[in-house]
A and B are shown apart, each in its own frame.
Chain A
Amino acid sequence: MSTQLTPVLTRYWDEPRSWTLESYERTGGYTGLRNALAKDPAELVGIAKESGLRGRGGAGFPTGMKWGFLPEPDGGPRYLVVNADESEPGTCKDMPLLMASPQLLVEGMAITSYAIGCTHAFVYVRGEVVHVYRRVLQAVQEAYAAGYLGRDILGSGFDLDITVHAGAGAYICGEETALLDSLEGRRGQPRLKPPFPAVAGLYARPTVVNNVESIASVPSILANGADWFGGMGTEKSKGYGIFSLSGHVTRPGQYEAPLGITLRELLDVAGGVRAGHELKFWTPGGSSTPMFTTEHLDVPLDFESVAKAGSMLGTRALQIFDETVSVVKAVSRWIDFYAHESCGKCTPCREGTYWLKQILTRLEAGQGVPGDLEKLDDIASNILGRSFCALGDGATSPVHSGLKYFRDEFEQAMHTPVDVSFPPHRSTVFAKEDVTS
C-alpha cells in the first residue's frame, strides 16, 4: 500500500466560513478541550508524550517532553508562546492553517495552557500577513464570548487569557529566544542558552514555545487518543504533518500525510514535475535544510531518514526546482536572504553571510576569481557550528549542499554568467515553451 493523504488539520478548510467558531463547533471542535478539562494536567503532559508528537516548527523536539521540562509551579506565572512567525523560505503551512482554521490553534492553546499551568498565553504572528492576523484576533474574541477562554472555562475553574501579537518583519524573530525578546519589546536577537525558555523564558518565567502546527495538532490527540495519533507515521516520527509543495510541480499546495511519505509519492499525487520538465533539486524542509536531488526521491520524509540522508526534515517545505534553474542563482538568492536577515549579534554569521554574498554575486555574473569556490566552502565551514543561533548554520546549508551536488555548475559560473547558462525566463510560470526544448 502506498502512503495516502490523511487530512486532519486541513480536514475542514473547505467548509463554508471555515474560520468561524460556529463552523468549527459543527465539525466537532472543542471536543478535545472538554476531554482535557476532565483530566489532571499531568495526565495531559503524559498523553502528549505518549502520542509521540514532535515539534512541527523545524527541530522535531518531542512536544510532551518540552512541556514536562517546566519546573514545579512556584506560584508565579508560566507562559505558552505560540510561534506563528512562519518565515523560513518555502514554508507556507501555518499561515493557511490560521486563515482557514484559527480555532484549531485556540483550542490547542487552551489545552496546552491547562496542561502546563499557564493562564496567559501569546500568539506571535508575523506582521506581513494582515488577513491572518484579523482571523486569529477574531477567533480569540469568539472563543472568549463562548466561554472557551476567560474565567472559569466551561465550569472547570481554569482561567486563560490569550494575547495576539503582530511582529513587524524579521525572520530571526522565528527563533524562539529572539521571539521572546521581540515579544518583550526589544530588537529580536537570540538569547544565550541555557537558561532555556522552560526555565527562564518570557519575562524570565518558565515558558513553552511551540509552533502553530504543533499546538494545532493537540486537539485531535485529545479527541481521538494518543494511540490514534501514534498509529500514523513512522516509529520515531509519529503522526501526520502538512507537506507544502511549491515550485515546478503540477499542483503546488498543501498535502497532509503521515510522516514518512516520500517525495516520489507526493509528486505522484501532485501530478509530478511541471509538464515537459524534470526534477533537478529540492529542499526537504526549507532553504536552511541541505538540498536533495533526484537520488533522494525515495527517502522517507521523517526526522530520522532525512537526517540519515544528510539533510533535515525541517518544516516539510518541499521547494521543487526543475532543470531550467541555476543552482548557483538559487543559492545566491538564498544567501542574500540570510545576509539580509542576519540579526548582527555574532560575527561569524554577520560577516560570513556578507562575504558569501560578495562571492556568489560575482559568480552569478560569471566573474569568479580563482579560489572562490574554496573560499565559499571555507567561509561556510567557519560559520557552521560557530554561530550564536541556527540562522547562521542554516545559511551554510545551501552553500555546502549546492557545492556537493552541483560543483560543476559553480565551476561554470566562474566564467559564464548564470543567466546565459540558464536563461531565467524558462523557469517562470509564464514562460512560453521554447520551440527547441
Chain B
Amino acid sequence: MGHANLPNYGTAPAPESDAYDAQVLDALLVDAAEVVRRYPQKESALLPLLHLVQSVDGYVTTRGIEFCAAMLGLSAAEVSGVATFYTQYKRHPNGDYTIGVCTNTLCALMGGDAIFERLSDHLGVDHDETTPDGAITLERVECNAACDYAPVVMANWEFFDNQTPESAVDLADALRSGAPVRPSRGADRVCTFRQVSRVLAGFPDGRADEGPGAGEASLVGLRLAKERGWHAPEPGQAQDNAADTGGRTPSGGLEPGRSGSTDTPANEPDEKPGDGKVEK
C-alpha cells in the first residue's frame, strides 16, 4: 500500500503506522488522562502528550497525532502544526539514542565543530540522520545551558561535559553496543529515547536521586569563596559587601538602558499594563 491515500501531517513522507492495539491504547488512555488532569485547560496537555506518543512509538506517528487530537478535541492538523514547530518532536523514527553535539558559537569554537565532524565520519550519518542499525541519531543542537562545560554533548538529553572528538566517539560506540553509559551530570545511565520521552511527559522514572548535585564548574565560585572566607553579609550588617564600584558608576541620572535583548519586558519600567503611566 502506498502513501497516497494516507494522511500525511508532516513534511517528510509519514511512514505508515497501524492503529494502536487495544492493550497499548488502554495504557495510553490512562496515562493521557493523568496528563490532562494536571492542567486547568486540557489543550495545555498537548506538549506532554506528544512526548508520551514518542515514548510509545519512538517518534510522532500519524496515529499518535490522531490520538492527541482525539484526546484534546483538536484537529489532526492543529496537532501536527504544533508537533512540527518543536525540534524535540521527531517526524521519522528516531534512534534509540540521540547524540546532540552543541555547535552554537561557544561550544563550536571550543571543539564542538571538530566533535561533530568526527562523529559524523565515524557514524556515517549527518545532522538529523540515524545509523542504519537504528541505534543513533546524530544532531547538531543549540546552546544547551552548559557553556561552562564546553564543549558539550547531549545523549538523550543528559549532559556529557568537556568532550573531545575521542571521548565522543567512545560515547557513541558504548551506546551502540548497549553498554551502560554514565553521563557527567545526570542519571546513573543514559536511558533510551523512549524512556526519556516518558519522563518528559511528566512520569518520573525514579532516577532523580542519581548523579551529582553539581559539577565542578558549577561549584567553582562557591569553592573559591569558601577558601577565601568570602560570604554574603549576615542579616543586620548590610553595607559590608556592596559592590565596590569605586566611583565608576555614574551618580544620579543613570541611563534607563535599552530594553533587554534577551527579553521583551512585561512592561516598560514606567508603564502600567493597559495605558497610563505610574509614578516612579
Contact = CB atoms under 8 A, between A and B. Distances in A.
Asked if A pairs with B, the answer is yes
B54 to A, nearest CB: 10
Interface string A234-252: 1110001001111110011
Given A134-B187, A312-B257, A233 B242 contact: yes
26 contacts: A3-B243, A10-B219, A14-B213, A19-B208, A19-B213, A20-B209, A61-B265, A66-B267, A69-B267, A89-B105, A96-B218, A128-B154, A129-B144, A165-B48, A166-B51, A184-B41, A195-B274, A209-B266, A252-B220, A253-B148, A254-B222, A260-B242, A304-B257, A330-B109, A428-B111, A430-B164
Interface in B221-259: 221-225, 228, 230-233, 235-236, 238-245, 248-250, 254-259
Contact of A390 (B39, B86, B262): B262
Contacts, number: 437
Given A232-B243, A424-B109, A168 B87 contact: yes
Nearest to A23: B213
B249 A300 contact: yes
Interface string A52-92: 00010111111001100100000001000000001111111
Given A100-B218, A187-B85, 8 more contacts: A13-B213, A87-B143, A95-B146, A174-B262, A196-B274, A300-B248, A312-B262, A394-B262
A337 B111 CA distance: 17
Question: Chain A CB within 10 Å — which of B147, B216, B228, B240 has the most?
Answer: B147
B35 to A, nearest CB: 10
A304 B253 CA distance: 10
A182 interface: yes
Interface residues of B, number: 114
A315 B104 CA distance: 17
B44 to A, nearest CB: 5
A333 B219 contact: no
Per CB-CB distance, the 6 closest pairs between chain A and chain B, nearest first, are A231-B238, A307-B257, A260-B243, A58-B262, A59-B260, A253-B220
Contacts of B257: 60, 303-304, 306-308, 312
B18 interface: no
A321 B269 CA distance: 33
Contacts of B219: 10, 13-14, 253-254
Chain B interface, DSSP helix/strand/loop, else mixed: loop
B230 A5 contact: yes
B159 A131 contact: yes
A92 B183 CA distance: 18
Interface in A125-169: 126-131, 133-135, 137-138, 141, 163-169
A231 B233 contact: yes
B137 interface: no
A177 interface: yes
B273 A69 contact: yes
Nearest to A310: B258
B25 interface: no
Interface string A1-31: 1111111101101110111100000000000
A328 to B, nearest CB: 12
Interface stretch (B1-9, B170-178, B199-207): B199-207
B108 interface: yes
B214 interface: yes
Interface in B108-131: 108-111, 113-114
B150 A429 contact: yes
A267 interface: no
B85 A170 contact: yes
A289 B261 contact: yes
A96 to B, nearest CB: 4
A285 interface: yes
B264 A168 contact: no
A176 B264 contact: yes
Interface string B179-195: 00001011100000000
Nearest to B275: A194
Given A258-B243, A312-B257, A304 B249 contact: yes
A5 B225 contact: yes
B147 A244 contact: yes
A298 interface: yes
B87 A228 contact: no
A120 interface: yes
Contacts of A11: 222, 232
A269 B241 CA distance: 16
Contact of A185 (B72, B225, B240, B264): B72
Interface stretch (A105-113, A197-205, A366-374, A408-416): A197-205
B142 interface: yes
A114 interface: no
A292 interface: no
B134 interface: no
